[in-house]
Structure formats: structure tokens, C-alpha cells
């Protein structure tokens, strides 16, 4: 393990409390701030979810929509025609046309890498089939998962269809969407592995005077990058890790 990287102290019980989309970043912040510990054998049990950036609290929570049997069936109209572009792994900050706010998270936009499309609900998609396109998609995935009140439709659009995504949707349906807010921004990325149809990317998020990381695996499916869901009972984004600095990352942010 790199000297700048600390093993995650997350135990199974704590991870279970973080399973709902949007709560995980808040949980991660609490871990770094309070220094919670657990049996090291539990450290690999976690897979974590992304940012919690819901809008101001509501007095009543919106009802969850009924979900049909094919919960994670592909969303129509996802076809993307962006050229694949450069297939090298970006070891320097990619060029951007600009940075914009998506669900209170600042994310990049590029004519070459995407997103080329944004839905009426703010969901960004259509990225280039390249390592750089996957990095852009990973940043947008964090933003997409930020608003818990849109968790189910976001998961249906963002995640690879299949039984694990169905299980996550069923888990989300058990609880009311949270109105807690813990806004953060991405600080950098590290491409762990990238091929034509699959990319694994570690993302760094600032917490207090350090950083926490999440790891997202994206798969090329239906002409776009989609997020690989976690196994049932685990949160999205495993494994968590703590980092003292960004030495092992490409520092890249819009704020």
C-alpha cells in the first residue's frame, strides 16, 4: 500500500448504514473526521457510494414511484454518436470546454469527451469510448448520484442493467430519500485500468485536511459508459481509502 494511502477502517455495520445513495459521502466524512476504527479483516468488505448533495430539506418526502418487474431495463434513447477519440490513458488534466454545476457538483464538459446529452432531469450522458471519456463519465456519475430524491431513476439510467442493479433499486425503495446535505467536489482521479469496453477509476474527494477515495468501474454498454453496480447488500464505489495528499492522483477540479 502506498505510504500516502491509509487502509479503510470501515466495518460491516457502518457500511450497511451507508448503503442508501447519497448518504455515503456524509458517512465517509464522518469516518475521516472522527477516526472510527474496526477489525482490519472487515476493511475489504466495503464498497461505497458517492456524493450526498441533496437540495434544501423538504418538510415531506416525495413518494417513491412504483418500479416494474424489469427494474434495470435499458433506458431508451441512450445511443451516443461521439467519436471514440484518443485511447491513451490521461496522465495530465484533460482539456475541457468548461466546468458546470450538475446537482450541486462541479463537473467538466468537453466537445470531444462528453457529455453530449443532458436529460430534462439534469442527467448527463453520451461520452466518448476512450479512457478520457470514462474519466468524464465518472465525474458525472458522482454528480448524478448526488441527489437522493432522484436515486431510483438515476440508478436505472446510470447503472449496468442486471440483477445487482435490481437489488440496489429494491434496497432504495425501502427507505424515504434523505434530505441531509454534505456537498463536496472532486479533487482528482487515477485511472487504475482502462480498455476499450471497461475502465476502473479512483476518484479523490476532499474531507477536512485529507482526501477520501472511491473506485468506480464503468462498462461500455448501449453506446455509452454505464456504472457497474455493487454486489447485493453493499454500497457503491468500493473500496474506500484515505489519502494524505493528491500525490497519487491527477489533480483535476473546477473549483
Per-residue pLDDT 10s for the chain (255 aa) are 565 655 443 333 333 334 333 444 445 444 433 333 233 333 333 333 333 333 333 333 334 344 344 465 555 446 677 899 999 999 999 999 999 999 889 999 999 999 999 999 999 999 999 999 999 999 999 999 888 788 899 999 999 999 999 988 888 888 766 655 555 689 999 999 999 899 999 999 988 888 989 999 999 999 999 999 988 877 788 788 889 999 999 999 987
Q: Is this structure's pTM higher than 0.85?
A: no
Q: Identify the pLDDT of residue 221.
A: 94
Q: Outline where DSSP puts E strands in 1-90.
A: 5-6, 52-53
Q: Identify the pLDDT of residue 24.
A: 47
Q: Where are the domains of the chain?
A: 5-55+80-251
Q: Identify the pLDDT of residue 80.
A: 78
Q: Identify the pLDDT of residue 44.
A: 33
Cα distances from 14 to residues 10, 49, 188, 229, in angstroms, run: 6, 13, 26, 19
Q: Identify the pLDDT of residue 191.
A: 98
- Measured CA to CA, the distance from residue 142 to residue 42 in angstroms comes to 25
Q: What three-state secondary structure class fits 75?
A: coil
Question: Residue-wise over 208-219: b if at least 16 C-beta within 10 A, else e?
Answer: eeebbbbbbbbe
Amino acid at each position: 500500500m502506498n505510504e500516502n494511502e491509509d487502509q479503510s477502517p470501515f466495518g460491516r455495520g457502518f457500511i450497511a448504514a451507508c448503503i442508501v445513495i447519497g448518504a455515503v459521502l456524509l458517512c465517509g466524512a464522518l469516518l475521516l473526521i472522527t477516526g472510527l476504527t474496526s477489525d482490519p479483516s472487515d476493511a475489504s468488505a466495503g464498497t461505497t457510494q458517492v456524493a450526498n448533495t441533496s437540495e434544501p430539506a423538504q418538510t415531506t418526502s416525495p413518494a417513491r414511484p412504483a418500479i416494474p418487474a424489469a427494474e434495470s431495463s435499458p433506458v431508451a434513447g441512450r445511443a451516443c454518436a461521439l467519436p471514440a477519440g484518443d485511447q491513451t490513458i490521461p496522465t495530465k488534466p484533460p482539456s475541457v470546454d468548461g466546468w458546470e454545476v450538475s446537482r450541486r457538483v462541479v463537473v467538466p464538459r468537453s466537445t470531444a469527451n462528453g457529455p453530449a446529452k443532458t436529460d430534462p432531469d439534469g442527467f448527463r450522458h453520451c461520452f466518448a469510448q476512450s479512457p478520457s471519456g470514462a474519466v468524464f463519465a465518472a465525474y458525472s456519475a458522482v454528480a448524478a448520484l448526488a441527489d437522493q430524491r432522484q436515486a431510483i431513476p438515476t440508478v436505472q439510467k446510470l447503472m449496468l442493467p442486471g440483477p445487482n442493479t435490481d437489488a440496489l433499486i429494491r434496497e432504495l425503495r425501502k427507505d424515504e430519500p434523505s434530505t441531509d446535505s454534505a456537498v463536496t467536489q472532486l479533487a482528482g482521479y487515477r485511472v487504475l485500468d482502462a480498455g476499450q469496453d471497461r475502465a476502473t477509476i479512483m476518484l479523490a474527494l476532499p474531507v477536512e485536511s485529507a482526501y477520501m477515495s472511491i473506485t468506480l468501474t464503468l462498462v461500455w454498454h448501449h453506446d455509452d459508459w454505464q456504472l457497474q453496480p455493487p454486489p447485493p447488500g453493499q454500497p457503491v464505489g468500493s473500496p474506500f481509502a484515505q489519502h494524505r495528499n493528491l500525490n497519487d492522483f491527477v489533480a483535476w477540479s473546477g473549483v
